[in-house]
Structure formats: C-alpha cells, structure tokens
Structure 1
Amino acid sequence: MAETQASTFMAQLLCPANSGEDESWAFLVLPKAVSETLPRRGRTSVEGTLNGYPFQATLDPDGHLSHWLKVGKGLQEAAAASPGDMVAVQIFPADTEPEPRLPDDLREALATSPAAKATWENTTTIARLDWIHWIESAKQAKTRNSRVDNAREMLASGKKRVCCFDQSGYYSKSLSAPKAKN
C-alpha cells in the first residue's frame, strides 16, 4: 500500500435512478481533486477502504474528468452503509492493474482470428482495458457488435491501442456516472 498516494474524503452513497435488473448496488462520485491524483482519467484500479472496510475496485470515468465507484451490496453491508449515507473513503492507485474480464463477444471474436488474438496478448493491461471499455461503452447492441468486429480487424492488423476513444468521456460524453435517484 502506497500510503503517501492515499486520498481520504467523504462522499454520499447514491442510489442509481436506473439500476437495471440488479437493484442492490449503489455508487459514489469521487471529488475531482481526488480523481486528479489517480494515474488515468479513464478506468483505473484502486485499493482502499469504505467506512474502514477494505476493497479493491476499478473506477469508471464520470464524463466530467473525475471517476465514480460502483458499490455492491456486499461492500455496503460490510461497511454498514446504505444509499443516502455519507461514507468515509480512502483510496490509492493499485500497484498493478488487474487483468480485465474479457467479455464473451470479444473472446469469441478473438478466437476466430489468430492474428487478432496474438496482438491482444501482446498489448498492455491498460490497452486491453481501453479496448474493453470502448466496446462496453456502446449504447446499442448494433454499435457494440460493430465495435467487436472492428476491434478484431484492427487487432488482426497489428493495432495495439484503440484510436480516437476518449477514455474520460469528457469530450464525447460516451461515458458517465449513473444518474442518481431523486
């Protein structure tokens, strides 16, 4: 743990307005000054505590040059926190980015192209995070399918990084924190 890089703050645990089928999660938005201490404006992994309870997580960009944290039911219960509560948070950058979970559709696409799979395996963890984030940020199934196909083609041609993708969501507004329930 790199204590010198730790940031401590208070934040309100929010209930998402649209939580999908899983209504058990909540979220909080990091203060911009805390987010600025992190190594990336895009997805970045952290370790920390919520009300003193340890956690590891990957933060998502909020579209305003900051980040947000999804807080699952298990962490809420362990930290004795509920939506609406003010919570004490301490975070610091993870020593190494954990390998991202490969979405099934991308895994299948890579399996059909040995060249794309080889390039994928020779990219950095951060680059793989960006590819996955680009694909998962698609709002419609048709766009997502197109991005999976394009990723396979670009990787097969040797391209290791997805181009022209705003990882912060600030310029394209393709990424953002959930809207809070009123």
Structure 2
Amino acid sequence: METECRFQAELLQPVSPGESSSWLFVVLPKDVSDTLPRRGRTTVEGLLNGHAFQVTLEPDGKLSHWLKVGKELQQAAGVAAGDSVTLEIRPVEKEPEPEVPGDLQQALAANPEARSSWEATTTIARVDWIHWIVSAKQAKTRVKRINDACNMLAEGKKRVCCFDTSGFYSKALRAPEHA
C-alpha cells in the first residue's frame, strides 16, 4: 500500500452545491495527489481532524484531486467552511466496486454481450466507464455515451477510449468553484 500523507487544508464551500448545500470540499496539494495511484477517481481512507472516513477523490482538472466532505463528517469533526483541518489519507488496498447508475444498469441488462464484457473488466475500468458517462454535461450526451459504451463493450473493448480521466487535457473535470 502507498504511504500515508498528512497535510493541512482549508474547508471550502462550493458556489453551486447542487441539490444539497451541506457539503464542503478540500483541494489536495499537488504533491499529495502525486503520491496516489492514479490521476482519475481514486478511493482513499483516512482521518479528518482524527475522524475516520473513506471517500472517492475526484480529479480537479489540474493533475490533482479534490475531496468532498459530507455533513456527517463535518459534524463528527466539529468543522465548518473556512476552517483549517488536518487530513491523513492513503489509497485503499482494493478499489471498491462503483455504484452503477440505473440507466447504465438497464442498458447493460438489455445487451448481454456488453454485460458480459462489463463483468469481465477490472473495477478500475468500470470506474472509468461510469466516470465517462456521468461526466456528460447534457442528458443527450449521457444517453449517447451509454449507447456508445454498450456498443464498445459488446465489441469486446475493456476500457473506455479517448477519455482523459484527470480532466487535464479536456478540462471536462474540475474541482468546484468555491465561495
């Protein structure tokens, strides 16, 4: 397993938190992110001010990552937006299976060849397929990506091609803007 990294960071409040305004985030220092096994989504475990958590980091589009801090962890650690926190993180030994979105589940269920390839891929490959699909900004793009994914998988492709999981080259992925 990779070594544990310890660092200080400020808890940031997103400008556009979406449906729930109760989460905060931290952008990892680049030197910490460089110790992680991949530039795309990667799961870590660790401590925030001494309180344990496990979370999947998101790429920030600048060859680093950002970490979403939910309300439960904020309350347990007694922290709020603007606070400086101490984080200790390390990659998990085995990447957990990703949650498959319902629309992708339905498409895979309707295409036995695609489902067979899906089941034969690695967990990391499934993370990347899902990341590619959910990163679509428009509903019609998401539908097209699901269709394309099923076609590629049915053809035996194990990994999504032409998708920069770090967001660095396409700028499709980035950390939220903060208030």
Q: TM-score range by the shorter chain?
A: over 0.9
- CA deviations 1:105-151 (Å, max 9, x no partner) are 10010010000000000000000000000001111111111101101
Partner of 1:162: 160
Q: Distance in 2 between matches of 1:83 and 1:135?
A: 31
From 80, 85, 88, the counterpart of 1:87: 85
How many residues get paired?
179
Deviation at 1:70, TM superposition (A): 0.5
Partner of 1:115: 113
1:23 aligned partner: 21
Q: Secondary structure at the match of 2:146?
A: helix
Give the Å deviation of 1:13: 0.5
Q: Which residue of 2 aligns with 1:60?
A: 58
> Quick one: which amino acid aligns to residue 106 of structure 1?
L
Partners of 2:138 and 2:174 in 1: CA distance = 16
Q: Which runs of 5+ in 1 are unaligned?
A: none
User: 1: CA distance between counterparts of 2:83 and 2:171?
Assistant: 28
Aligned pair partner of 1:74 in 60, 72, 75: 72
Q: Does 1:124 align with 2:135?
A: no
- Aligned mates of 1:114, 1:21 — CA distance in 2: 35
Query: What is the percent sequence identity of the aligned residues?
Result: 62
Counterpart secondary structure, 1:18: coil
1:85 deviation in Å? 0.4
Match of 1:173 in 2: 171
Moved over 6 A (4+): none
Within 5 Å, which residues of 2 pair with 1:5-24?
5-24=3-22
- Secondary structure at the counterpart of residue 85 of structure 2: strand
Letter paired with 1:26: L
Aligned position for 1:134? 132
Deviation at 1:18, TM superposition (A): 0.2
What RMSD in Å do the two structures reach over aligned CA positions?
0.8
CA distance in 2, matches of 1:14, 1:176: 14
2:88, 2:12 → 1: CA distance? 17
TM-superposed CA distance for 1:21, in Å, is 1.4
Q: Runs of 5+ in structure 2 lacking a partner?
A: none
Give the C-alpha shift of residue 20 in structure 1: 1.0
Question: Aligned-pair distance for 1:79?
Answer: 1.1
| TM norm structure 1 | 0.97
Distance 1:79 1:38 in 2: 24
